[in-house]
Amino acid sequence: MHCYEVIPEGAVCKLYFDLEFHKPSNKEADGKNMVSLLIQYVCERLMDIYGIECSAKNILNLDSSTEEKFSRHLIFNLQNAAFKDNIHVGAFIHAILQQVLSTTKSGICLDVKGNRETGTHADPEVKPAKPDEKAESPQTKRRKQEERDLGFLRVKNKDGQDCLFVDLGVYTKNRNFRLYKSSKVGKNAAFTVADDNKFITKPEKGIFAEESVFLASLVCNVSFTGQKILKWDVPETKESKNTRPYCQQEPMINPGSLTSCLSSPHQEVDDFVLTVIKKDNVQGSKWLG
C-alpha cells in the first residue's frame, strides 16, 4: 500500500517529525537513542514555551527503517493542544533547532535542506558575547549548552556531506505525509509501530486497537473541542498575503448569503459545491470543517 495523508494548507494539525539518516555513512549513530534525546528536548521546549506537558507516552513512534536507512515518523498527540497549521509547526521546529542549524564543529552552516553554506545565522534572542568580555552572559552559556546537547542531530548523507537528522522539508503547504502501514512506491518498508514506541492508544468503544493507532498517526486528525491552538510568529511573505483564510467557529453574518464564512481549505471543492447549491436559485450552507 502506497498511501499518503495530505496536510491541507491552513489546517490545524499535530506536531510531527520525519527523521532519517544513511546508515553506512553514520556507522556510530545510535538511532533509537537519537530519537529518545530529540523527544526529551522537544518536550522540554514545549513546556518552556507553551506550558504544555509532554512525554514519550504522548508521541506515536513509527518505524520504516531498512538496512541502508534509518527512518522514523513522530506524531505528537498532545493533550488538548495542536498547532495552527504545519507552517507554524515548521517555524517552531526551526526556532528550537536554530543552534544546530547555524553551526557545525567546523564552523560551516547548514541550510534547511542540509546543504552547506558559509556565513552565520544568529539567534535573534541571543546576543553574541564581545571578544573583550571575560565572563559569558547567561544567554551565551545557554546557547553553547544547546549546541552541545543537539550535536547528536548532525549526521552525514550518503555523499559524506553534513546534514540534519530532522527533515525540515515536510512543513510545506498541502504536504503529502506517508501513512501508517504504507511504503514508498517500489519499496517494501512500510511504517509500523517502532519497538521502542511508548505511546499507548486508548481505543474508544467500537474501535479496534489497530484503527486507533491509525487515527493517532494522522497529523490532521484533531478535535476542535477545547483545543489550545499553538502559534509561532511566521514572517509575512508575498505568498502568505495571498493565502485565503477560512473561518472557524464564527457565526454567519447573514445565513442566506454566500459571501459569509464559506471558505474551506480546499478551494477546488468549494467551487464545485457552489455550482451545485446555486442551481435553481437555491443557496446553501457554509464550511463546517
Cell readout for 132 is 573583550
Position 274 scores a pLDDT of 72
Grid cell 547528536 is found at 152
Tens digits of pLDDT across the chain (289 residues): 889 999 999 999 999 999 999 999 999 999 999 999 999 999 999 999 999 999 999 999 999 999 999 999 999 999 999 999 999 999 999 999 998 887 544 433 344 443 433 333 333 333 334 444 456 666 665 655 555 589 999 999 999 999 999 999 999 999 999 999 888 887 888 899 999 999 988 877 878 888 999 999 999 999 877 889 999 986 665 444 433 323 233 333 333 333 333 455 556 666 677 776 666 555 554 444 4
Q: Is the pTM of this model over 0.75?
A: no
d(Cα 113, Cα 202) in Å, to the nearest integer?
37
Q: Kindly provide the b/e burial profile for residues 129-158, where b requires at least 16 CB atoms within 10 angstroms of the residue's own CB.
A: eeeeeeeeeeeeeebeebeeebebbbbbbe
Cell readout for 217 is 498517526
